Structure 1
Amino acid sequence: MTRNFSSSHLILSRLTRLAQASFGAAMGYAPPLAIALTLVAINPSWAGDPFRSQGQARQIGDKTEAAFKAVFQQGDYPAAERYLSQAISSESDEPLAYAMKASLSYINKDLGGLDNYSRRTLEAGQKLVKTDELRGNIYTAVGHFLEGAAIITREGTLRGASQALSRLRLVYEYLDKAEAISPRDPELNLLRGYMDLMLSVSLPFANPDEAINRLRTNAAPEYLTNRGIAVAYRDLKQYPQALDYANRAIKAATDNPELYYLKAQILKEQGRREKSQQLIREAIANFDKALTKRSQLPKSLVQQIESERNGAVNSLNQ
Structure 2
Amino acid sequence: MALPALADPFRSANPRNIDRTTEAAFIAMFAEGNYAQAAALLENASRNEPLAHALAASLAYLNRDWDTLRDRATQTRRSAERLMQSDPLRGNIYRAVGHFLEGGYAVSTQSTVAATPTVLRELQRAFSALGEAERIAPDDPELNLVKGYIELFLATNLPFSSPEQALEKLQNFAGPEYLAQRGIAIGYRDLEQFEPAMAAVDQALAETPDNPDLYYLKAQILVRQEKYRESLEFFQRALEKEDQLPQRHANQIAWEACRAESVVEGLRDGVSRQRCNPLLRRR
Q: How does 1:78-227 map to 2 (within 5 A)?
A: 78-87=36-45, 91-227=46-182
Q: Which has the higher contact order (CA 8 A, sep 6+)?
A: 1
Q: Which residue of 1 aligns with 2:204?
A: 249
Q: Does 1:311 align with 2:259?
A: yes
Instruction: Give the Cα–Cα distance (whole angstroms) in 1 for the partners of residues 179 and 146 of structure 2.
Output: 10
| 2:273 alignment counterpart | none
CA drift of 1:136 comes to 0.5
For the Cα contact (< 8 Å) 1:47–1:65, is it kept in 2?
A: no
Q: Does 1:53 align with 2:12?
A: yes
Q: Residue 278 of structure 2 corresponds to which residue in structure 1?
A: none
SS in 2 for 1:86: coil
Distance between the aligned counterparts of 1:118 and 1:294, measured in 2?
A: 27
Matched to 1:104, the amino acid is: L
1:205 Cα deviation from its structure 2 partner: 4.3
Distance in 2 separating the partners of 1:85 and 1:182: 31
**Unaligned segments of structure 2, at least 5 residues:** 267-283
One of 24, 31, 35 as aligned partner of 1:66: 24
Alignment deviations for residues 134-181 of structure 1 (CA, whole Å, 9 cap, x no partner):
000111111111111111112122111111211110000000000000
In the alignment of these two chains, the number of paired residues is 266
Note the 1:8-47 alignment, pairs <5 A. 44-47=3-6
The residue type paired with residue 181 of structure 2 is N
How far apart in 1 are the matches of 2:58 and 2:160? 29
Name 2:35's counterpart in structure 1: 77
Q: Distance in 1 between matches of 2:181 and 2:144?
A: 13
Q: CA deviation at 1:237?
A: 1.1
| Structure 2 partner of 1:285 | 233
Q: Give the conservation status (yes or no) of the 8 Å contact 2:95–2:129.
A: yes
Q: Which residue matches 2:269?
A: none
Normalised by the size of structure 1, how large is the TM-score?
0.81
The question of whether the paired residues in 2 share the 8 Å contact of 1:201 and 1:236 is answered with no
Structure 1: how far apart are the matches of 2:160 and 2:120?
18
Q: Structure 1 CA distance, aligned partners of 2:6 and 2:244?
A: 24
User: Match of 1:17?
Assistant: none
Report the TM-score when normalising by structure 2: 0.90
Q: Deviations over 1:248-275 (max 9, x none)?
A: 11011001011000000111111x2xxx
5+ residue gaps, structure 1, are 1-41, 273-278
Q: CA 1:149–1:205 in structure 2 vs 1: closer, same or farther (change >3 Å)?
A: closer
Q: Match of 1:44, as an amino acid?
A: L
Q: How far 1:234 moved relative to its partner?
A: 0.7
Is the contact made by 1:46 and 1:57 (CA closer than 8 Å) also made in structure 2?
no
What amino acid does structure 1 have at the position aligned with 2:163?
P
